[in-house]
Structure 1
């Protein structure tokens, strides 16, 4: 499969001195931002402004985001008179640090708004793809697929947010694999990251069977807890890779991170596999 038209244009301009400085590692983060809001009833609070600072502090080349809102009429009205207020732009654009490109697609449409997946990138993006992997009508789920031009190479990214039932997640993994086989060249670098909701740690085997290895520390540990953020116990947030190796893996912690979302971010440093 050839590169997308947008990425082909970026490839042709890759000799330009403009753009990010080359680095040996690709810094990748995945973060479920809980729609930028925490709490219930009178205790409900807007966290999107704090999340903006948090995303910037990650200093990641690629940020895979889940539960991102483009709009929500009721919450925009509720928070319009707060100190900072509801952002006028979509949350993905609002969270993107200066100079980052943004890709966003809606997964779920509700009475007052919608939410979906986003990718923030300090490297040029290709054509954006979206694939519905909803297992039933009560859970709207999707995959966001974006090719990225990383240091002159095409790297494919998929932002995932899987369902709450294990049987459904297995079917969604199969649909993910089928989508990758159809839309991603077999030799291409690939990063699949997001919230897999895999409470029982049972998805690594089917992912590995299709060439996607879970990012782990050099000692082999991969189960870094990200949920719930105040007392993390489950490693629901994952990064799976192909053609790359993980150099480091970490979860930022502390009161500020625990406040902003019910998930903590997962951050990995990746490098090309040794020839």
Structure 2
């Protein structure tokens, strides 16, 4: 295999709008994720269950959202980051390639934000590839500490000679975490303006795909009015060359 196509997408729990204008977008998101045609799809703000949503929306899926969104022939992996009054949500990974194992680590920096990382080991064209899905905090100091924790996790859990992808919602205003990621040997495609937030009028890039032992060759954001309706983020799709 020459390239690996990786997408990251914060799906905003499958619901958009506020108050009485709230609408269920999970079905549209399912079609959209299929259109991305990615080998690996990294998702954030994915609901395992939500009792309030089940009561409000007649078409609320009976399956957890990761399983509902999983295209035919893919594997779905989910881990909870946050427990709320009405349910729980977290990170998910959908893979076209077989999953060997997965693990979760709590990255919560304070009691007001529940965060975590999802590490999935895959077999891609007969070789191991590691993927880590992250959703970092809203506070700058939290993000700095979470990146340090991410580095410790990678050192401990990922063999240094095996390909690694780290993708997700970094909440990284101004791309200030890039130097720290580069110091871990993880690179993204620099020099391209790829804003992903807010989806209706994207002004800044909060979502990133970093890789080690995989060379970033292209970075795209889908365009069109429908993408601005389904979530407050746009998906980011990276093509990575297999070294």
TM (norm. structure 1) is 0.87
Aligned equivalent of 2:218: 248
Q: Which residue of 1 aligns with 2:195?
A: 225
Task: For residue 93 of structure 1, give the secondary structure of its aligned residue in structure 2.
Answer: helix
Deviations 1:23-61 (A, max 9, x none): 421111000000000001110000000000000000000
Aligned counterparts of 2:240 and 2:174: Cα–Cα separation in 1: 26
Which position in structure 2 is the counterpart of 1:32?
10
Q: Which residue of 1 aligns with 2:205?
A: 235
Return the alpha-carbon distance in structure 1 between the equivalents of residues 192 and 8 of structure 2: 14
How far is the alpha carbon of 1:248 from its aligned partner? 1.3
2:186 & 2:159 partners in 1: Cα distance? 14
CA contact (8 A) 2:187 2:216 kept: no
Q: Secondary structure at the match of 2:99?
A: coil
Matching residue of 1:86: 60
Give the match's secondary structure for 2:76: strand
2: CA distance, partners of 1:115 / 1:221: 34
For the aligned residue pairs, the C-alpha RMSD in angstroms reads 0.8
Q: Distance in 2 between matches of 1:213 and 1:265?
A: 19
Q: Which residue of 1 aligns with 2:147?
A: 173
- Corresponding position of 1:265: 235
1:178–1:118 CA distance, 2 compared to 1 (3 A): same
Which digits, 9 at most, give the CA deviation of each residue in 1:196-230, with x for residues without a partner?
Answer: 0011321000111111112x1xxx42441000000
User: Is 1:57 the equivalent of 2:35?
Assistant: yes
Tell me which moved more, 23-32 or 183-192: 23-32
The answer as to whether partners of 2:101 and 2:122 remain within 8 angstroms in 1 is: no
CA distance in structure 1 between the partners assigned to 2:106 and 2:38 by the alignment = 27
Distance 1:52 1:213 in 2: 29
2:52 matched residue in structure 1:
74
Structure 1 gap segments, 5+ residues each: 1-22
2:77 matched to 1:117? Answer: no
Counterpart of 2:178?
204
Partner SS for 2:131: strand
**TM-score of the two chains, using structure 2 as the length reference:** 0.98
The counterpart of 2:156, out of the listed 155, 162, 182, is 182
Q: Distance in 1 between matches of 2:47 and 2:142?
A: 24
Q: Please state which structure has a larger fraction of its residues in strand.
A: 2
Which residue in 2 is equivalent to 1:145?
119
- Per-residue Cα deviation, 1:145-204 (whole angstroms, up to 9, x for no partner): 000100011000000000001111000000000001000001110000000001132100
Q: d(CA) in 1 for partners of 2:175 and 2:2?
A: 31
1:157 is aligned to 2:127: no
Counterpart contact for 2:222–2:236, Cα < 8 Å: yes
Structure 2: stretches of 5+ with no match in the other structure: none
Number of residues paired by the alignment?
A: 243
Q: What secondary structure, in the 3-state scheme, does the structure 2 residue paired with 1:173 have?
A: helix
> 2:177, 2:24 → 1: CA distance?
33
